[in-house]
Structures are given as structure tokens and as C-alpha cells.
Amino acid sequence: MKQTVLILITLILLFVVPARSEVFVDWKAGYYVNYPDEWYHVPYREVEVFLISQNVSWDEFDYDAVLAKKTDSAFFNGPYIFLSFLPSGKLKASQVDSILEVMSEEYGRSYAEGRITPETRFPLDRPVYDKGINGIGVKSRITSEFTDKILLELRRFYDKGIALFLCYAPKDQYNESRSVFLETFSSFSTDNLEAAAGKDSFVVVDPAEREKAETDDEFPAAGKNGDSEKDSTNSIYLAILAVIILGLVVAVYLKKKL
């Protein structure tokens, strides 16, 4: 009997195909994340057209990339993630506290301490702070005459600044997309970017160059030159807070636009 069970287990393991994942490396921000194989990096031109339709310009929102689920429709009709970066340097505990206070006022509910994992279910309009990973998450609903979406806004504080994940999904697709949003966020790492990148990674294109980028094939090759941002750990306290508050204002504006 035991031998039969072992044979069955072996056969199962042989025929189980592990789930594939892709890697997005943000050389400018100095981190990478994994995302599912059924998702893709949206070409800048396609994102540009969408932002223009929403009356949003790169001057208002300098994103690094957009990841979206592969569908037969435009990316914004399904779940997608805007990845952005605020180069504030490593924040002090008091500065993180200030952000939590601002977000609590913005959403009208005091933040709660908890864990942010792929299984986390966020209460509506209540920020959740995970001290262990130094990250914040908050879920909100965006409605208008033409849209009904859920936004899961995730922030990760690290040595270079703040990695911002704006995760959108149509309300009826949020539950099935939530785990992808959180797994992507949880895969955040700053370790050994060169090894994680592989041959298919790319450098984040600066706004001035994005107008020339029609497809992913036109992206420059990955390399250390993409990691040109310098840590601003010696920035003045008020200057850093100004950047942070500006980022919060932009996030609020985008929630209504995107």
C-alpha cells in the first residue's frame, strides 16, 4: 500500500507544471518584482494614449511601468498595476508616521496595524500598516457614470524612497485579481538585481524618451547605467515631506482619474 502511494505521489509530481512568472526590474528605483506569466508589461505608447484620455500627463504622474493581465481588450478594461517611485531616500520613523496620519485623514479612518500578505483582505478606506515590511496598503472604490473600479494602493518604504503600486480592477474582477496584486507586491526585492534581471529585462524609459518607444522591442537593453538615481538620504526633512505629500496628492488625483 505504501509503495502504491509513493508511486502515485511521484507521478503527480512529474506531471505538475509549476506556475511560471515574469520579472520586472526597475533599475532606476533599484528593485524588482515577479508577476504572473499571463500578465504583461504594457507598451508606453498604449499607456500614454490612456493617460491622455484621462487628462493626465507625465508632468503630473511620472510612472515607471504598467503591468496588466493579457486580454483581448484594452489593458484598462481589466486589472492593471501602475508602478511608480518617489526618490525620497530612507525615511525616518517619524516621517512614516506623518504619512500614516495624512492617509488616515484622507480616507477618514484611522490606520490599523496588521500584516500585508497575499491573503490579506483590506477593509474599505482604512489604511493598513505592516511594520514588518515597512509597507502600507489601502483599498478604495472609484465610481462614476462610466466606471466602477476598486483601487488597492500599496506603498513600500525602503532605502531609496517609496515604491508605489496602484492596483486597479473592475469591481467584479477585484476578488480574483487581489492575490496577484499582493503577490506582486510581496515579491518586492532589492537583492542582486543583475541575477534577477536575466536577458529579457529592460531599463525604465525616461519621459522624454517614451514618445519614441512604440513597442517593448524598442526599449534600451538592461544595464547598470539604468541605476543612476542617487540615494538622497541627506535631503532636508521638509523637502522630503514635500515630496511625500505631493505623492499623496497625486495618488488621490489619480484615484479619481484612472
Sequence-distant contacts of 119-124: CB under 8 A, at least 24 apart: 119/179, 119/182, 120/182, 121/178, 122/152
How is residue 149 written as a grid cell? 473600479
Q: Is 32 exposed, middle or buried, given 0-12, 13-18 or 19+ CB atoms closer than 10 A?
A: buried
Question: Which pLDDT tens digit goes with each residue over 153-164?
Answer: 999 999 999 999
At 15 the pLDDT is 40
At 217 the pLDDT is 39
Sequence-distant contacts of 253-256: CB under 8 A, at least 24 apart: 253/60, 254/56, 254/61, 254/82, 254/166, 255/140, 255/142, 255/151, 255/153, 256/142
C-alpha span between 227 and 65 (Å, rounded): 15
Residue with cell 504572473: 36
More confident residue, 207 or 21: 21
More confident residue, 205 or 227: 205
84 is a domain residue:
yes
Closest listed residue to residue 152, CA positions, set 132, 131, 134, 170: 170
Domain holding 137, by residue range, is 19-257
Indicate the number of domains in the chain. 1
Closest listed residue to residue 207, CA positions, set 20, 34, 51: 51
229 is a domain residue:
yes
91 is a domain residue:
yes
Kindly indicate the confidence band of residue 7, based on its pLDDT and cuts at 50, 70 and 90: very low
Question: Which pLDDT tens digit goes with each residue over 223-237?
Answer: 333 333 333 333 444
123 is a domain residue:
yes
pLDDT at 255 exceeding the cut of 70: no
180 is a domain residue:
yes
With a pLDDT cut of 90, the percent of the chain lying above it is 58
Q: Work out the angle between the directed axes of helices 93-107 and 237-257 (0-180°, nearest 10).
A: 30
Q: Can you give the CATH number for the domain in which 212 is found?
A: 3.40.1000.10
14 is a domain residue:
no
Predicted TM-score (pTM) of the model is 0.74
